[in-house]
Amino acid sequence: MEMKLPFKDNKLLEKVQGIVNEDEELNAVWEACNTMAVRRLGMSDHGKVHVSIVANIALKLLRNLKKEGVVPNIVSDYDFNFEDAEVVVVLASLLHDLGNSIHRDLHDELGVLLANKFLNRILTELYDVKRKRQIVMTETMNAMVSHSEEIKVFTVEAGVVRLADALDMEKGRARISFEKGKQDIHNVSAMSIEKVKISKGERPIMIEILMNNPAGIFQVDYLLKKKLKGTGIEQYVEVRAIVKQEKENIITEYKI
């Protein structure tokens, strides 16, 4: 599978895309993530497809915030460029689940250890200045560990990555474990999510979640709400969940 990023005019992201697609070791780690998560634990996808989706969502969220004048922390704290902030959210998105390849427990901490060598490889290709390379690395690691709701968020970039991780909730992510018989509330609710749309509404980020069964509300009211809280970007986000039950021709709308 070839990863594709909407890099637009950001040549740094174009380089990232080429590097990660060609890195055999990194792709092996993503494969191992799903061996642990999907095959051994019966969880949803935590491999290359998942992190690719998260990276694309994170870019969309960050660019929506930029249009409303929200400044990423690597720009305000270090006077870097917005393109560098995009590198941080993309790399953090791509690497945030690496620790699952070793063990689900402590996967945040394990992931940072694993990510170190990959970040060194990638950032050496992107930046000539050692100081800039190191700061982008630490900001990326910060956003990686902050994807867990138990960790305090300090940057816009970290908040974006946490929210993007939660928004990979369409039913395709849970299909394999669901079909293998893991039909708990997590998978049943995930299979109810038909589509997640991100646009601009009254706030910079409007999230519309279309579902075919009220069971999907668990994903929204419990998992998404839990992830969104504490991101530091809550004030820029509105969420609308729409349940459409075709047989009964009932449409119900929820907001959080």
Rounded distance, CA 171 to CA 45, Å? 11
pLDDT at position 253: 60
Count the neighbouring beta carbons within 10 Å of the beta carbon of residue 45: 21
Model confidence at 182: pLDDT above 70: no
Model confidence at 114: pLDDT above 70: yes
- Quick one: pLDDT band at residue 219, thresholds 50, 70, 90? confident
pLDDT at position 140: 98
Model confidence at 200: pLDDT above 60: yes
pLDDT at position 117: 94
Torsion sign, CA atoms 164, 169, 170, 175: positive
pLDDT at position 169: 83
Q: What is the pTM of this model?
A: 0.88
The predicted-structure confidence for 60-108, as pLDDT tens digits, reads as follows 999 999 999 999 999 999 989 999 999 999 999 999 989 887 887 777 7
Rounded distance, CA 223 to CA 207, Å? 14
Model confidence at 174: pLDDT above 50: no
Could you tell me how far CA 63 lies from the centroid of its own chain?
Answer: 15
Rounded distance, CA 236 to CA 202, Å? 9
Region 208-231: what's the mean pLDDT? 85
Region 31-37: what's the mean pLDDT? 86
Rounded distance, CA 256 to CA 16, Å? 35
In order, the DSSP letters of 98-122 are GGGGT-STTHHHHHHHHHHHHHHHH
Q: Are 62 and 160 in contact (CB under 8 A)?
A: yes
Region 165-189: what's the mean pLDDT? 62
Helix axes 156-167, 82-95, angle to 10 degrees: 40
pLDDT at position 228: 94
What are the angstrom distances between the C-alpha of 59 and each of 71, 88, 102, 198, 253? 14, 10, 28, 11, 27
- Quick one: pLDDT band at residue 223, thresholds 50, 70, 90? confident
Assigned fold of 11-255: Hypothetical protein af1432 (1.10.3210)
Half-sphere exposure of 256 (CA within 13 A, CB side): 20
Give the phi and the psi of residue 130 in degrees, each rounded to 5.
-60, -40
pLDDT at position 75: 98
pLDDT at position 13: 96
Which has more confidence, 13 or 223? Answer: 13
In order, the DSSP letters of 10-64 are -HHHHHHHHHHHH-HHHHHHHHHHHIIIIIIT-----SHHHHHHHHHHHHHHHHH
Residues listed for the chain: 256
State the amino acid at position 186 in one-letter form: H
pLDDT at position 256: 61
Are β-strands 250-255 and 205-211 bridged in parallel, bridged antiparallel, or unpaired?
A: unpaired
Model confidence at 131: pLDDT above 70: yes
pLDDT at position 248: 54
Residue 193: name the closest of 181, 206, 205, 175 by CA: 175
Which has more confidence, 223 or 182? Answer: 223
Model confidence at 158: pLDDT above 90: yes
pLDDT at position 235: 96
**Least trusted range by pLDDT, from 5-14, 146-155, 180-189:** 180-189
Count the neighbouring beta carbons within 10 Å of the beta carbon of residue 172: 15
pLDDT at position 179: 45
